[in-house]
Amino acid sequence: MLVKEIKELRSMIKSWRREGLSIGFVPTMGALHEGHESLIKRAVAENDRVVVSVFVNPTQFGPNEDYDAYPRNIDKDLKLCMNAGATVVFNPEPKEMYFQDKSTSVSVSGLTDVLCGAKRPGHFDGVCLVVSKFLNIVTPDRAYFGQKDAQQVAVIKRMIRDLNIDVEIIPCPIVREEDGLAKSSRNTYLSAEERKAALVLSRSLKMAKKALDNGERDAYKLKELIRVEISKEPLAKIDYVEIVDGDSLNDVEVIERNILVPIAVYIGKTRLIDNFTYEI
């Protein structure tokens, strides 16, 4: 079922609550793929009702980013959601989500100053604002986020903690193509040649993980290993390669605890991210 208005969705949610039903929530920007499908299916397995939002959020795009070009196909997205077992797809217009004279912002400091946050100023303010609005509208018991956007997961978890929002955040594993490329809506931007070149992300991370398994604990050496491998691909340009604490996102020099290894790489004009977590 497709719902466009907050009032209608809230009415449905109130009726579910009166019945004592649990609610799962999967926020998306559409252009759905198997990665999103895995989130929806897990939400369906763990909740009585599931709401999926499909909303290309304008507040998280910078002035020179791809908001207008971002792929949109609500008919295809609705079909995927319903086939995966979702109860409702919430697809509001921007004017439904944001008042013309809106004056409220939501900002998480520290965690947003590094990685993608350092490269995209204001991005996570937009993410936090829209997620907090969705959580207020849907009031879910559980919300499901893909681990591919690992910094986003960390920021949302911190926001939930700091604002005492009563929801459980469920991070879900990265879903990959058979050749290892992480599923992403932006993969559709890649030419055939760029699609092949993009495999350098997962390949370099796999090499770093193998080195960790073999006992390497020097973060600089691991980052250099990744950089060298990426530099072999002519179409790839490194945005960042980091090794950080899994919770604080602070830099790590010697690996003695759980870490996150995130990378961002431009393949042609398309910026792709990937990562893995490693538990000590």
Burial class (CB in 10 A: 0-12, 13-18, 19+), 250: exposed
The single residue of 3, 24, 36, 144 carrying the catalytic annotation is 36
Q: Are 206 and 230 in contact (CB under 8 A)?
A: no
Residue 132 has φ and ψ, to the nearest 5°, of -65, -35
What tokens were used for 199?
Answer: 């495999």
Instruction: Report in angstroms the alpha-carbon separations of 11 from 5, 116, 167, 191.
Output: 10, 37, 20, 44
Q: Determine the average pLDDT of the residues in 161-165.
A: 97
Among 206, 4, 191, 8, residue whose Cα is nearest residue 95: 4
Q: Determine the average pLDDT of the residues in 192-216.
A: 97
* CA gap 66, 204 in Å, rounded: 27
Residues in contact with 126: Cβ distance below 8 Å, sequence separation at least 6, in sequence order: 57, 58, 59, 60, 61
pLDDT of residue 204 exceeding 90: yes
Percent of the chain at pLDDT > 90 equals: 94
Q: What is the pLDDT of residues 55-101, one digit of tens each?
A: 999 999 988 888 998 889 999 999 999 999 999 999 999 999 999 99
pLDDT of residue 280 exceeding 90: no
pLDDT of residue 254 exceeding 90: yes
**Measured distance between the N- and C-terminal CA atoms of the chain, rounded to whole angstroms:** 44
Residue 272: strand pairing partners = 265
Q: Are 41 and 82 in contact (CB under 8 A)?
A: no
- Mean pLDDT for the chain overall: 96
Give the pLDDT score at 92: 98
Question: Is 36 in the active site?
Answer: yes
What tokens were used for 212?
Answer: 């960790």
Predicted TM-score (pTM) of the model is 0.94
Give the pLDDT score at 64: 81
* CA gap 204, 227 in Å, rounded: 8
pLDDT of residue 201 exceeding 90: yes
Give the pLDDT score at 169: 98
* CA gap 31, 226 in Å, rounded: 30
Q: What is the pLDDT of residues 7-57, one digit of tens each?
A: 999 999 999 999 999 999 999 999 999 999 999 999 999 999 999 999 999
Among 110, 88, 30, 89, residue whose Cα is nearest residue 128: 110
Give the pLDDT score at 153: 97
